[in-house]
Amino acid sequence: MPADSMSVTRLLYNLRFRAILYQVLAVGSIVLLGLYLFSNVSQKLAEQNIATGFGYLSREAGFVISQTMIDYKPTDTYGRAILAGIVNTVWVSAWSVVLASILGLVVGIARLSRNPLLALLAFLYVEALRNVPLLLYLFLWYALIVTTLPAVREAWEVLPHVFVSNSGLTVPSLIWTRAHTIIIVALVLGGVLAVVLHRRMTAERIRTGKDRTTWPWVAFALLIPPVLAFLIMQPEFAVSLPEKGRFRLTGGSQLTPEFTALLIGLALSASAGIAEIVRSGILSVRKGQWEASRALGLRDGLTMRLIVLPQALRVIIPPLTSSYLSLFKNSSLAIAIGYPDLVMVSNTTMNQTGQAIEGIAIFMLVYLGLSIAISLFMNWYNSRVALKER
Amino acid sequence: MTTATDIAEAQLKMPVRRDPGVERRLFHRTLKPLIGTPVNAVITLVCLWIMWLGVKGAYGWLVTRAVTEGGAQACKVGQGACWPYYEAKLRFMVFGVYPYDEHWRVALAMILFLGAIAISMIPRFWSGKLLVFWAFVIMATGVLISGGVLGLSYVPTTQWSGLPLSFLLSAVGLALGFPLGVVLALARSSKLPAIRVIAIVFIEVIRGVPLISILFMASVMLPLFMPSGITVDKLLRAQIAIIIFAAAYIAEAVRGGLQAIPRGQHEAASAMGLHYWQSMRFVVLPQALKIAIPPLVNISIGFFQDTTLVTIIGLLDFLSTVRTAMTDPNWVGIAVLEGYVFAAVVFLVFSYGMGAYSRFLERRMRLGYD
Residue numbers of the domain that contains A29: 2-46
Taking the Cβ of residue A146 and every Cβ of chain B, the question of whether any pair is shorter than 8 Å is answered with no
Shared domain check, A93 and A13: no
Shared domain check, A167 and A19: no
Query: To the nearest whole angstrom, how far is the Cα of A371 from the nearest Cα of chain B?
Result: 6
CATH at A372: 1.10.3720.10
Measured distance CA(A221)–CA(A196) in Å, rounded = 10
State the pairing for strand pair A173-174/A168-171: unpaired
Of A53-67, A95-109, A111-125, the least confident: A53-67
Alpha helices, H only, chain B: 4-13, 21-26, 32-35, 38-59, 72-77, 83-95, 103-120, 128-146, 163-188, 193-208, 211-216, 222-225, 234-259, 263-271, 276-279, 285-306, 318-326, 336-366
Shared domain check, A89 and A22: no
Shared domain check, A305 and A167: yes
Shared domain check, A31 and A170: no
A268 has pLDDT over 90: yes
If contacts are CB pairs under 8 Å, which of residues 99-128 in chain A contact chain B? 113-118, 120-121, 127-128
A vs B, Cβ pairs < 8 A, gives 143
Total tally of structural domains belonging to chain A = 2
Measured distance CA(A69)–CA(B353) in Å, rounded = 43
Measured distance CA(B245)–CA(B203) in Å, rounded = 9
A1 has pLDDT over 50: no
The number of CA neighbours under 13 Å toward the Cβ of B253 is 23
In a domain, A58, yes or no: no
* Beta carbons of A121 and B336 less than 8 Å apart: no
* Beta carbons of B348 and A333 less than 8 Å apart: no
Query: To the nearest whole angstrom, how far is the Cα of A357 from the nearest Cα of chain B?
Result: 6
Shared domain check, A88 and A34: no
Residue type, B51: M
Shared domain check, A83 and A155: yes
φ, ψ of residue A249 in degrees (nearest 5): -95, 135
* Beta carbons of B347 and A147 less than 8 Å apart: no
Q: CB–CB of A108/A282 below 8 Å?
A: yes
In a domain, A326, yes or no: yes
Measured distance CA(B328)–CA(B81) in Å, rounded = 17
A42 has pLDDT over 70: yes
Q: Domain residues of chain B, as ranges?
A: 99-154, 161-366
> Which among B213, B340, B355 is the nearest to A131, CB-wise?
B355
The H or E element spanning position A139 is helix A134-148
Residues B65-88 pLDDT 10s: 777 777 777 777 777 777 777 777
User: Looking at residue A388, what is its pLDDT?
Assistant: 61
Residue type, B87: E
DSSP state of B334: T
* Beta carbons of A118 and B47 less than 8 Å apart: yes
Let me know if B351 is exposed, middle or buried by CB neighbors in 10 A (0-12, 13-18, 19+). Answer: buried
* Beta carbons of A30 and B198 less than 8 Å apart: yes
Shared domain check, A143 and A21: no
Measured distance CA(A69)–CA(B72) in Å, rounded = 42
- Report the percent of chain B where pLDDT is more than 70: 91
Question: Which chain A residue shows the shortest CA-CA distance from B275?
Answer: A15
Shared domain check, A31 and A146: no
In a domain, A152, yes or no: yes
Question: Which chain A residue shows the shortest CA-CA distance from B37?
Answer: A115
Nearest to A311 by CA among A388, A374, A390: A388
Average pLDDT over residues B348-354: 89
pTM: predicted TM-score of the whole model, two decimal places: 0.81
Chain B interface, best mutation among A14, A136, A341, A355, by max B CB count within 10 A: A136
Shared domain check, A124 and A23: no
Shared domain check, A243 and A158: yes
> Which among A143, A336, A356 is the nearest to B224, CB-wise?
A356
Question: What's the pLDDT band for A151 if we cut at 50, 70, 90?
Answer: confident
If contacts are CB pairs under 8 Å, which of residues 3-42 in chain B contact chain A? 33-34, 40
Taking the Cβ of residue A271 and every Cβ of chain B, the question of whether any pair is shorter than 8 Å is answered with no
* CATH class of the domain comprising B161-366: mainly alpha
Residues A81-108 pLDDT 10s: 888 888 888 889 999 999 999 999 999 9
Question: What's the pLDDT band for A113 if we cut at 50, 70, 90?
Answer: confident
Q: Provide, as residue numbers in chain A, all residues whose Cβ is less than 8 Å from the Cβ of B49.
A: none
Residue A27, C-beta contacts closer than 8 angstroms, at least 6 positions apart: B194, B198
Measured distance CA(B120)–CA(B134) in Å, rounded = 9
- SS3 of residue A355 by DSSP: coil
Shared domain check, A167 and A274: yes
